Structure 1
């Protein structure tokens, strides 16, 4: 199993994040404006939460592999918060050449730091890495569900 390139992986997850944001916004419209159903918020919210966590994890992996400066990585993470901003971010990163078509930490493994060694090891075993990512997303989603939504103070 060959992992998708950093460019393809990031583009896929950034697009999915924007799509699930759209679903959540539609659900919020149905719940709060038309007051017809809250099902859209339940489904859209859950999907968006899962994809949001995946976006954060993929961003961290690509950040380490592509050796982004801290500022670029933090801006990229922050763009998961406003609706649809990940689409702009993906285009910006791709246009400026910050999304490689190959993994830097691939088979040759030029890893020097612990985060680079972790990403390099994941790239050498992409099937196991994909499974670990799915489990990490599931666990983080479970924690978010356990903690629950923010409680309004008033």
Structure 2
């Protein structure tokens, strides 16, 4: 392989979407790697939505009364990615149904663009339901957890 051939391979490699290339021809070895660009994602707040609904025959006097009656809230995905219930396959899940969590406790992880993003509880409460499956893709705004908001 002469220098002209090397430049030709290099030029084509640079124009391609490949990140790494190993080439062996007649005893000559060529290895090319592109530097990977690190992209920072913007922190998005976790969306929390009340899941209580008022019956049509009931009249709620004030929004404050509705908030007191409604303690179940949804924790939604702030972005698309792969959801994980634990930090590795060998460790136990961060939370299970029935667990009491405090504001800021880690509920799960979403991997997006090779970055692990921890999902923290936005309030203190009890895990009522886990709707996201471990190691599965989740969509933006998908409900991950349902919590019963508590004071303790």
Q: Would the TM-score normalized by the shorter structure come out above 0.5? A: no
Structure index of larger Rg? 2
Superposition TM-score, scaled by structure 2 size? 0.27
Q: Which has the higher helix share?
A: 1
Superposition TM-score, scaled by structure 1 size? 0.27
Q: Which has the higher strand share?
A: 2
